[in-house]
Amino acid sequence: MADIITLKDGSVEIILEPKNFQELIDQYLGYEAAKYFQLLVKNYETRVEEAEEGTNSDLRSYEMSLESNTRAFQEIEEICRNMISDFNREEGRNKLNALRPWYKRICEIIKIIHNQI
């Protein structure tokens, strides 16, 4: 996409790429100003790349944490489903006896949760 700029003297220039702007700087402000502009652009590009790398790294870390949490909650869900299934199979007084092994399973759930925190 082209940009059209009006210079101080009223002339109009078309900027098709950053190099065109750099040439204008060189033409109207001199070589040193053009080199300074080039250095500024390069520094900003480097900063953008570093920021993108940091963002991507943070995103990968977040995704890994999310996957870990998902697996942990799937483990907890499986333990809870087994507990409910065991409880529902029992009749009468055996239902009360079915609660006893739950302590161990609840301790497993607590351990999983603590590992995730």
Residue 16 has pLDDT above 90, yes or no: yes
How far is 8 from 2, CA to CA, in rounded Å?
A: 19
pLDDT over 90 (residue 115): no
Spatial distance between the Cα atoms of 59 and 18, rounded to a whole number of angstroms? 31
Domain containing 70 equals: 3-116
CB 79 within 8 A of CB 109: yes
Q: How many domains does the chain have?
A: 1
Digit-coded pLDDT (tens) for 24-78: 999 999 999 999 999 999 999 999 988 888 888 888 888 888 888 888 888 888 8
How much is the pLDDT for 26?
Answer: 92
Residues in the chain: 117
* pLDDT of the residue at 24: 92
C-alpha to C-alpha distance for 91 and 60, rounded to whole angstroms: 49
Q: Please state, rounded to an integer, the average pLDDT across all residues of the chain.
A: 86
**Tokens 């087994």 sit on residue:** 82
Q: Is 93 helix (H, G, I), strand (E, B) or coil?
A: helix
What pLDDT score was predicted for residue 31?
Answer: 93
Show the beta-strand stretches assigned E in the chain.
Answer: 3-6, 12-15
